[in-house]
Amino acid sequence: MKDNKDIVIVSAVRTPYSKFNTAMKDIPSIDLGIMVMQEVIERVGIKPEEVEEINYGSCVVAEFALELDVPARQATLLAGFPVENISLTLDRACCSSLTALRLCIRAIKAGEVEIAMAVGSENMPRTPHLAPGARWGTRLGHLTLIDPLFELGYHAKGFSPVAVDAGEVALEYDVTREMQDEWAYKSQQKYANAYAEGKFRIGEELMPVVIPQRRGDPIIIEKDESPRETSLEALAKLRTVYGSPTVTAGNAPPISAGSSAILVMTREKARGKGLQPLATIVSSVASATDPRDIATIPALTIQKVLDTAGMNIDDMSLIEINEAFAAMPLVSTKILAKGDEKKWKELQEKTNVNGGAIAIGHPVGSSAARITMTMAYELQRRGGGYGVAAICGGLAQGEAIILRV
Ligand SMILES: CC(C)(COP(=O)(O)OP(=O)(O)OC[C@H]1O[C@@H](n2cnc3c(N)ncnc32)[C@H](O)[C@@H]1OP(=O)(O)O)[C@@H](O)C(=O)NCCC(=O)NCCS
């Protein structure tokens, strides 16, 4: 069962995820990336020169454009990785950091490198407005400012806001607004319980963000900022956003900053270094479907990764489906249950057992690695098992990974 050629996760860490308007909003995503890249190797005593390839997902392009381009290359150099380090900045929307991990897996399997790192980094609140036309001036008429964060819907090219597609498709699957609010309520409750049990404290997936101040003590952020108390009544009163029939500020994730990093190598290499793997990667795939069907893509990608691994959803003790909105885990578990209501409930019980992005936050490029490590640490606590994590990304792209602990 344990093959020397297995690819294992030996270290995984993230920053806390911020709220919209707090101290982290001023830290460039590159700097957040540097923090996790340094921490993920320090924790296991790996030196920067041992990491041969770093794949780095970041998809709010307008934010890192403040530092121009190639954030991966900038971050690796500033974090102290050698000039020879191979890095790649990639944008597969919210899927990006799992895509980064999949590329690391490929590189190791191809024998190109032995140790690789996947990073996801985003600072959505720092995103500036864009002023197209400002360079050449406006001969006559208004100069327009564009907010790249607003609606997150690619409407310049005729696509709908994600919240509209997710809400409409959810209703087509008979996943109502009430069900989405109930999922959101449980996400907050599950996170609160997990936090009370010490699961989201510094040391496992979390590292602190330290922000030096000109005068006085630094600001230290040690926990996710978005989780909040709520009630079904309060959720029901919220109005829908972006023209969606069901999505509200309560059943959507907040707009966040945060970074995550995962370090991988072969089992043989880990053994040689005396490192205890956090999890073994069983299989990892990507997929895509009709852009409007974004709420269904986690299910389709989970089915694809299960088929690739020759496994069944019932083999999984845990499921993570990113709460891009509450619609995604609900629609996707319903598809996976294949019309069996009892099975649908069972799958929901196994999904996001410590809460999800609605409570934790969703710095888009970072979240895929976050759900992967959240699941790995939970499998560890439970003494082992298999888990599958899946995420949807802009215009219905998907990534999924199966882990064994
Ligand atoms: C949904 C969204 C527009 C809300 O933005 P916002 O209006 O700045 O959010 P706020 O936190 O101020 O919440 C709005 C209101 O709802 C309330 N609210 C939010 N969550 C709540 C909850 N769980 N329970 C009760 N009330 C809640 C807030 O208190 C606030 O009330 P107020 O107006 O009386 O102060 C924004 O978070 C967003 O765009 N999220 C989606 C991001 C996204 O698309 N990510 C990618 C997915 S693919």
Tokens of 139: 């001969």
Q: Say yes or no: CB of residue 253 within 6 Å of ligand 1.
A: yes
Active site residue 104: no
Q: Say yes or no: CB of residue 396 within 6 Å of ligand 1.
A: no
Report DSSP state, residue 215. Answer: S
Residue 160's pLDDT is 94
For the CA of 394, the nearest atom of ligand 1: 48
Residue 318 has phi, psi (to 5 degrees) of -135, 150
Read off the pLDDT of residues 134-176 as tens digits, 9 standing for 90 and up: 899 888 988 899 999 998 878 899 999 999 999 999 999 999 9
Q: Which residue from 369, 365, 121, 368 is spatially nearest to 259, judged by alpha carbons?
A: 121
At 390 the three-state DSSP class reads: strand
Spell out where 100-198 has E strands: 115-123
Q: Which residue ranges of the chain lie beneath pLDDT 50? A: none
Q: Say yes or no: CB of residue 234 within 6 Å of ligand 1.
A: yes
Residue 152's pLDDT is 84
Q: Say yes or no: CB of residue 108 within 6 Å of ligand 1.
A: no
Residue 138's pLDDT is 83
Give domain limits for the chain: 7-128+252-404
Read off the pLDDT of residues 21-32 as tens digits, 9 standing for 90 and up: 999 999 999 999
Residue 5's pLDDT is 93
Are 331 and 172 in contact, with CB atoms under 8 Å apart? no
Continuous H helices in 208-285? 232-237, 267-272
> What residue type is 28 in one-letter code?
P
Report DSSP state, residue 8. Answer: E
Active site residue 129: no
Centre of ligand 1 from the C-alpha of residue 247, in Å: 10
Q: Which residue from 242, 216, 390 is spatially nearest to 302, judged by alpha carbons?
A: 390
Q: How many CB atoms lie within 10 A of CB 6?
A: 16
Are 101 and 371 in contact, with CB atoms under 8 Å apart? no
Packing angle of the helix pair 71-78, 29-42 (nearest 10 deg):
50
Residue 115's pLDDT is 98
Provide the Cα torsion 8, 11, 16, 18; round to 10°.
-50
Q: Say yes or no: CB of residue 370 within 6 Å of ligand 1.
A: no
Residue 151's pLDDT is 85
Are 112 and 53 in contact, with CB atoms under 8 Å apart? yes
Helix (H) or strand (E) holding 315: none
Residue 369's pLDDT is 99
Let me know if domain 7-128+252-404 sits in CATH 3.40.47.10: yes
In the set 59, 95, 104, 362, the catalytic residue is 362
User: Which residue matches tokens 């972006």?
Assistant: 242
Q: Say yes or no: CB of residue 235 within 6 Å of ligand 1.
A: yes
At 157 the three-state DSSP class reads: helix
Residue 153's pLDDT is 79
Residue bearing the CA closest to ligand 1, atom 5 = 249
Centre of ligand 1 from the C-alpha of residue 185, in Å: 14
For the CA of 20, the nearest atom of ligand 1: 8
Q: Say yes or no: CB of residue 324 within 6 Å of ligand 1.
A: yes
SS (H, E, C) 47-101: CHHHCCEEEEECCCHHHHHHHCCCHHHHHHHHCCCCCCCEEEEECECECHHHHHH
Centre of ligand 1 from the C-alpha of residue 202, in Å: 26
Residue 176's pLDDT is 98
DSSP 332-360: HHHHHTTT-HHHHHHHHHHBSTT--HHHH
Active site residue 142: no
Centre of ligand 1 from the C-alpha of residue 20, in Å: 10
Q: What's this model's pTM, rounded to 2 decimal places?
A: 0.98
Q: What distance in Å separates the CA atoms of residue 8 and residue 263, rounded to the nearest whole number?
A: 8
